[in-house]
Structure 1
Amino acid sequence: MHVKIFFCTLLLTLGLSTSDEFTYNGFKGVNLSLDGLAGITSDGLLRLTNATKHAMGHAFFPSPMRFKKSQADNVLSFSTTFVFAIFPEYQMLGSAGFTFVLSPSKELAKASADNYLLGIVNMTNNGNASNHILAVEFDTWKSPEAEDINNNHVGIDINSVISNYSKPAGFTSDDDGKFQNLTLFSGELMQAWIEFNGRNMQLNVTLAPLGKPKPKIALLSPTINLSSIILDHMYVGFSGAGGSTYSYYYILGWSFQMDVRAPELNLSSLPSLPQNLISSSSEEKQKTLLPWLPLSLFLVLLTIAGATLVVVRKKKFSEIHDDWELEFESNRFPYKQLHKATRGFKDKCLLGIGGFGRVYRGVLPGPKVEVAVKRVAHESKKAVREFVAEIVSLGKLRHRNLVQLLGYCRRKGELLLVYEYMPNGSLDKFLFSETKQTLDWSLRIQIIKGVASGLQYLHEGWDEVVIHRDIKASNVLLDGDMNGRIGDFGLARLYDQGAAPQTSNVVGTLGFLAPELARTCNVTTSSDVFAFGVFLLEVACGRRAIEPNKQESEQVLVDWVFANWKVGTIHETKDLRLGEDYVLEELDLVLKLGLFCSHPSPSARPSMRQITQFLNGDASFPEMLPYEFRAGGVS
């Protein structure tokens, strides 16, 4: 089996293929079929509409998907997830809304953009069985013609904009089972999951704030026989419309898969929303609220303000304290202190959004220590005690190439982790950003050696073996001297502990997952070594592990470098931005070591101790293994 075939099999196993699946963590360079107002911004956002009224926009994956094996068969299972945000013209008033839509055609130019037709049908064909349209609407306008339940709902539409099923937007908390409302047109980032089970014909639609795990209870979960609605081949995409008022509908990331669950999005790689919309949304809230406060209400509020101030402040800074936490008290930060340090977790203090939550820059009082505060949403009560014990234990790790974990704070459904602040941010910004200064080779090799040393310490230098599970450039942070520090170690276990015992919860990022994880789901130090190998290639080549927009032979980084090694052109895979500023022997070592570490067989990979010896010149690098052996013994 060739390496290319091997990795294609792995990607299919893990949920990423090239025919019935796609994953877009941002839309830069993505080929979508766009019409009307739809477009892709320079930052990689898919924008369905703009400030134009009575207009619409459509964005479809350019090729149809096969939803039936034959005309007589039932509809196959499918799944999609996407991240979106809606910015209305007026803060308190929505617009027509947008939909995720399955259509026999990607040409919906004859549809109408009126406030209730959503850009998927018009007044003459609304409700016709010949439409063969299935849409999930995220509607921010209450239209009597569409029999809408309110101006903030999610609905399932079949051939018509009159929803067959709809509910107010929100989600059911896994913690207490209570329903929590979400305002679709708030400008807040949200994630939606739409999944159809072809066996029991159940269509699940789930919604949650971005960064929160997918709720166990779906918002909508009807049983629908789609056989007469969905044709053999259908296009998948989005439709957005504006009527007498407009809204901006942004899609930040999108994945889709037939038969199995769609791949998870890499939230840390999603593009940022336009700052002007975020700030104007905040300003609009103030402008729209104050003029409508009657004087009498203002006086009443003023009268009771004093009595309620203490209660409000107490609730604002409330925390959860259990008896078992007494032994960890010295590692706990008061929430009030972290709130003040981050200026109330304001957006201007936001450092980034990752797979485990949002990270904010803060300055602690007293000696003015800069910290990074990560807010991790987690609803599993069962896992909290074990996880707190673990993060306090991990806080005892001391190594110059690990980001120091300083402590924690706990509130209902949320953990806050306090780390050292890394002023130069994450390594991936320097490797992949066109605006950041290119790292010279001496810095790259310094960072590589530092990360190797830190990972060896996690594997061998402490009382217990610590497996990171997600080594990659975005999890390597740079301190003031541009030293590489490993961050987020131990966080993956939080989500493992919260999972059901019978589920397979492979934590990590596609392109960095060792192939054996698809079979066993058992993480080991060797699976960390595999990810470290891909990391080496990221640094040397200046490319991401998987780039779907490249030619097929270049999409998987390990495949591409290996193919060049076979024909003797491995040095041509180096980052072109390096120019001639590199040490050939070091480049050669890093590239070949990256392939050695990413060997398909766990037993063939070196340990982190051996890797550091190779990098520091304390041991001779072995001859590269024959191609036939590397590929699993079959040429």
Structure 2
Amino acid sequence: MAYQRLILFLGFLLFLTNPVKSQLDEELHFNGFNGVASNMSLNGVAEIEPNGMLKLTNDTLRVLGHAFYSSPIKFKNSTDGKAFSFSTAFAFTIVPEYPKLGGHGLAFIISPSKELPGSLPSQYLGILNATVVGNFSNHIFAVEFDTVQDFEFGDINDNHVGIDINSLASNKSTPAGYFTSQNSTKQSLNLKSGHVIRAWVDYDSVKNQVTVKLSPNSIKPASPILTFDVDLSPIFQDFMYVGFSASTGLLASSHYVSGWSFKMNGDAKSLSLDALPKLPGPKKTHTGVIVGVSVSALLVLILGIGLAFYIIHRIKNAEVIEAWELDIGPHRFTYQELKHATRGFRDKEVIGFGGFGKVYKGTLPNSNTQVAVKRISNESKQGLQEFVSEIASIGRLRHRNLVQLLGWCRRRGDLLLVYDFMPNGSLDKYLFENPKAILSWEQRFRIVKGVASGLLYLHEGWEQTVIHRDIKAGNVLLDSELNGRLGDFGLAKLYEHGSNPTTTRVVGTLGYLAPELTRTGKPTPSSDVFALGALLLEVVCGRRPIEAKAMPEELILVDWVWDKWRDGTILDVVDPRLGGEFDELEAVVVLKLGIMCSNNTPKARPTMRQVVRYLEGEVALPEVVLSPGAYDGRKDSKGGGEFEDYVHSYPTSSYFEKASAWSCDDADVDFEAASSSSPLSVSGRNGGSCPR
């Protein structure tokens, strides 16, 4: 009996000291975090500062920080599996590296784990990653305070509050703000203002409702800014961890939590801003003025001022190694290296320019390697986002038909990209108007096959699908052997294989834009194929997709080629500067393929794998070709009856007979005839407003 009593007593002591908080009224209250380090679990870059401020992230790029209460809390009734009500209040501050740019935000989070293994920074807020986002098995509940608009997750703006369940695509969100009274107008609130903001998150298990309130002061608003009806019982496990997560991306913010209270089945205690630790003020430089009558004292003062100016100059021009360089890969050059390589960015070294800025020829001082330095101007529309896109995409790509990115540099407002130098410049200089030299047919055919091979690698050969979005002759560069290399990835779009790209703004160059982009805004591999079709035709014809100085019937290149095709005079479109010296069968293959790629209907275009196989002679082109404008019963302009969508092709079988591994298997070709003309037909036949 005494033995049993001893066992019960020891069990009671174990219950009292057990770190698992099973009480239904569990309560936390931290006016600052001094002396509570043992109660908090920190990882990433999160730390508790000497004054008690919880700092989740600093101004380092692409980092995350977690801070959880170290013991799990019981969130569900073991009997019926119903989630309990909870309430939390906290004070946070977001201090961006650049006043108007946040990165990325913080979140109050309830999670089955306090480590969040595999979580990523940037848009994932240190909570999830790309492979698990959206999975029901995550059992994640979060309220995000986001300062970057991420299109991947459908963010409404760059200053919003959202309720997230198992995903970073918010179930419901609203612009940050608050109400001063019950029926007052919503006041806006800048999350990245650098000032303390109070937040309250409450869950009512009877109403099955989550509410979020914000305030720039200690007064709790009467009305929430965000209300979401949801039963959290399926989301919560019996025991969960509560805390905070924050992250930075290519822009950084320091995320602070100065106070926090939490309570199960009741209202969290209020926080007094006066009792909370304060953010450190800006560092002040105190200049001591020594007034003396001696000459030596005056000299010391002058020397001191001179030294101070020198130090300030050095600090101002110092370059900081960015953390995200490690994730991207290519070398980070110093600004001085590139300035020296380009001889101070002299105008004499300019080898190209555009809306982004200028491209300079340079020679690296240590290796004597010739490079091309793309300097993005402050006025350019291609700003930080495109700069980062170009590094993130081409920086890790490796293919003989892609221009190799060697490195980059970012110094305050200067954004610079360093590439392999292409001594023969861009392809358009050899095709249009008064070319520097006439490319032979063999050179042209090799160039189009090389570009197609590089584009196939982008679409299918890399770890992600890369959509270039700006394929044109000006972005095809020629190396010392006149091989074609695809460059300029400033507009590139990356997404996982098998997924759908998000809607984005329409970008690119007129004449190369697929007609569906004007309706959907979604770039796809097929829209790249459309642009390649325009490129194939201009390489053969030596003319731009839209030739402003041409006769009306020759204004749109693909229309002119199509008209010649159906008339049986297709070879008339071949660049006359070749003097008739070209392989007729190869020319017909490229022209026919150009028409197929230029079809207004995406499903009627071949894939890049099919394009490469056609150009290499591995399979034969279809015997019939679909009208690029999807005519659908349009009257033949030459009169006399209906003009059919399908016409017999120029014979090309003998070209494939020359291939050593010829196979005429059309089973993999699945082209659908267009059922009607596109309402935004880029050929202009149907009243479209976007000419090809």
- Which band: TM-score by shorter chain? 0.3 to 0.5
Q: Which has the higher helix share?
A: 1
* Larger Rg, first or second structure (1 or 2): 2
Query: Greater relative contact order (Cα 8 A, min sep 6): structure 1 or 2?
Result: 1
TM-score if structure 2 supplies the norm length? Answer: 0.44
